[in-house]
Structure 1
Amino acid sequence: MSGMSNEEDEDATPRHAAPMVEEVTDFEVLEIALRELAIEKGLFTAEDHRRYTEYFEQLGPAPGARFVAKAWSDPDFKQLALEDAITACHEVGIDWLKPTGFGTPSDFTALHILEDTPTLHHVICCSLCSCYPRPLLGNSPEWYRTPNYRRRLVRWPRQVLAEFGLYLTEDVRIRVEDSNSKHRFMVLPVRPDGTQGWNEEQLTQIVTRDCLIGVALPKPGRTADVDRPVHAAVHPAQNY
C-alpha cells in the first residue's frame, strides 16, 4: 500500500475541466454582442428577448398546414391567398406582428404564395443565407441553411429534389424561388388524389413542412416528414 493521500493522488493525475458549452462560433459571438448592445441602448429589454425567443422556439409548420388545407377547401380563400397572403394569414389565425406587436425585420416582409400545378413545381431556398417564413413554417430545418442545399438547388434543382426522394417527370417544370430580405415564400402544393371529401382537419394532417418548402409532395397517410439518411451529394458545394 503506497500510503499516498487523496490530495497527492489528484496532483499526480492531470485533469482538465470540461467546457461548459461547445465551441462558440463567430456568428454566436456576434449575436451575443449585438443583443447585449441593443439591451444596453434600450432598444428592447432582456425580458423582451426571452419572450421573443420562447415564442419562436415553440412555432412549427402547423399554421402553414392550416393555410394550405383551407386554400384546398375554399376557392375564395385560395384567391385571397394568391392576391394578398398576409390578409389571408389573419383569416386562419396567423399574426405576423407577434410577439412584439410590430413584427421583426426577419419575418414581417412581403409574402407570396406559390401555387403548384400538374406541370409546374415550386421549391424555395435562400441562396445567400436562410430567409424563411417562420410565422408559417416555424424554425427552418438545419439542411435548409446548409451551403449544399442553398447553392446547389439554384443550379441543379431536379437532382437536389431527387436526393429528397422527390422524382419529378421531365414534363414538370421546376421553378426555384430565392428568398431575400424583402420577400418570403410558401408553396401551395397540388391537392393529392384520394382526399376527396376530406375536411380541413384531415387535410391539415398531410401538409408537412417539407411540402410547404417544396422538397416533398403531400400524400394520404403521410403525416410527418421522412427521415432521410445523410449521403454524399453529387456536385457538392465546396470551399464555403
Structure 2
Amino acid sequence: MTRVNMVYTPKTEEEVAARVKAIEAILIEKGLMSEAAVNKFAELYENEVGPHLGAKVVARAWTDPEFKKHLLKDATEACKELGVGGLQGEHMIALECTDNVHHVIVCTLCSCYPWPVLGLPPNWYKSMPYRARIIREPRQVLREDFRFEVPDATEVQVWDSNSEIRYWVLPKRPKGTEGMSEDELAKLVTRDSLIGTGPAIAA
C-alpha cells in the first residue's frame, strides 16, 4: 500500500513575530484598528488568556489531589475555581497522561481549541497536515514533527475536539519536582504539553 507522508515544519518564533507585526501595520494603516486597540488585544492574550493560565491549573493539579480529582471530573468547573474560563471554554475535558497512556488533541474539522486554558491555537494546530496525520500515525507525527518520542509501552490516544467539547492535556509531572512550588511548577508546563505534542519541561 502506498502511503503519502505530509510533514509539517512549524514556523520559527521570528517568522511568526514578523508576520504579526506586518498584519498589525496593515490594520492600523487601513484604519481598521487603532494602535491602542492592537496593544489592548495583545495585552489581553498576554495577561488574561493563554498557556500560562493552563500552566497554573496544571501546577495546582500536580500539588493538590482534591483539585486534580475535581479537574478530571469537571475541568470547566475546576478551572473556574482559579478564575480560568470563558468563550471557547464552556465545556472542557482534561485528560491525564500517565505511564500507561499519552493523550494528544486535534480538531479534524477546523480548529476547535480551549482558548481560556491554552490561548490562541498555533498555526500548525490548524494545518491540514497535522489534522490529517495525527489521527492516522500519531507516534510518527510526534517523533518527526515535534521530536517527542512516546515509549512503545505507552498507549497513544488522540482526542478530536469539536464545537461542543474541547479537550486539553494534563501532562505527567516531571520527576525530581517534589519540593517545587506551584509557581515553579507552572514554568515547566508548555503549550505543547497541554496539547500533548510534547512533555512538560524536565526539572
Name the TM-score class by shorter chain.
0.7 to 0.9
Distance 1:142 1:77, change over 3 A: same
**Which of these residues, 116, 126, 132, is aligned with residue 135 of structure 1?**
116
Tell me which amino acid in the other structure corresponds to 1:80: H
SS, match of residue 104 in structure 2: strand
1:174 lines up with 2:190 in the alignment: no
d(CA) in 2 for partners of 1:90, 1:143: 28
For the residue of structure 1 that corresponds to 2:173, the secondary structure is coil
CA distance in 2, matches of 1:113, 1:160: 22
1:34 maps to what in 2?
A: none
Partner of 2:99: 118
Does residue 191 (structure 1) correspond to residue 191 (structure 2)? The answer is no
Report the CA distance between 1:186 and its aligned residue.
1.0
Runs of 4 or more off by more than 6 Å in structure 1? none
CA shift for structure 1 position 119: 1.1
Gaps of 5+ in 1: 1-20, 23-45, 97-102, 222-240
Q: CA deviation at 1:109?
A: 3.3
Amino acid in structure 2 at the alignment position of 1:214: G
1:70-115 deviation digits (Å, cap 9, x = unpaired): 000000000110111111112212131xxxxxx4xxx143210001
5+ residue gaps in structure 2? Answer: 1-21, 24-32
Partners of 1:108 and 1:72 lie apart in 2 by 21
Structure of higher RCO (CA pairs closer than 8 Å, 6+ residues apart) = 2
Query: Which one has the largest radius of gyration?
Result: 1
Aligned pair count reads 167
- Percent identity, please: 44
Identify the match of residue 69 of structure 1 among 50, 59, 62: 59
Shift of 1:192: 1.1
TM-score normalized with structure 1 length: 0.65
Contact 1:120 1:174 in 2 (8 A): yes
Give the match for residue 152 of structure 1: 133
**Superposed counterparts of 1:214-229, under 5 Å:** 214-221=196-203
Between Structure 1 and Structure 2, the one with more helix by share is 2
Q: Which residue of 2 aligns with 1:213?
A: 195
| SS state at 1:123 partner | strand
Contact 2:76–2:90 (CA under 8 A) maintained in structure 1: no
Matched, 1:95 2:77: no
Q: CA RMSD in A?
A: 2.2
Q: Quote the residue 2:74 is aligned against.
A: 84
For 1:176, give the aligned amino acid: V
Normalised TM-score (structure 2): 0.76
1:129-182 C-alpha deviation (Å, 9 max, x unpaired): 111011110101111110110111000000001021111121110000001111
